[in-house]
Amino acid sequence: MEDILEILINDARTSADEIAKMTGKPVAAVKKQIKQYEQDGTIVHYKAIINPEMVEGNQNLVRALIQVSITPQKDVGFDHIAERIYNFAEVKSCYLVSGSYDLLLVVEGTSIQTVAEFVSSKLSPMENVRQTSTHFLLKKYKDDGRIFKVAQRQKRLNITY
pLDDT tens for each residue of 54-71: 777 666 789 999 999 999
Question: What does the mean pLDDT of the chain come to?
Answer: 90
Count other C-beta atoms under 10 Å from residue 9's C-beta.
13
Confidence of residue 24 (pLDDT cuts 50, 70, 90): very high
**Extents of the domains making up the chain:** 3-40, 52-139
Q: Is the pLDDT of residue 92 over 90?
A: yes
Q: Percent of the chain scored above 90 by pLDDT?
A: 70
Asked if 129 contacts 123 with a C-beta cutoff of 8 angstroms, the reply is yes
Confidence of residue 99 (pLDDT cuts 50, 70, 90): very high
- CATH topology for the 52-139 domain: Alpha-Beta Plaits (3.30.70)
Mean pLDDT of 129-158: 82
pLDDT score recorded for residue 52: 73
Asked if 69 contacts 132 with a C-beta cutoff of 8 angstroms, the reply is yes
pLDDT score recorded for residue 58: 60
pLDDT score recorded for residue 160: 74
Q: Which residue has the higher pLDDT, 150 or 54?
A: 54
pLDDT score recorded for residue 150: 67
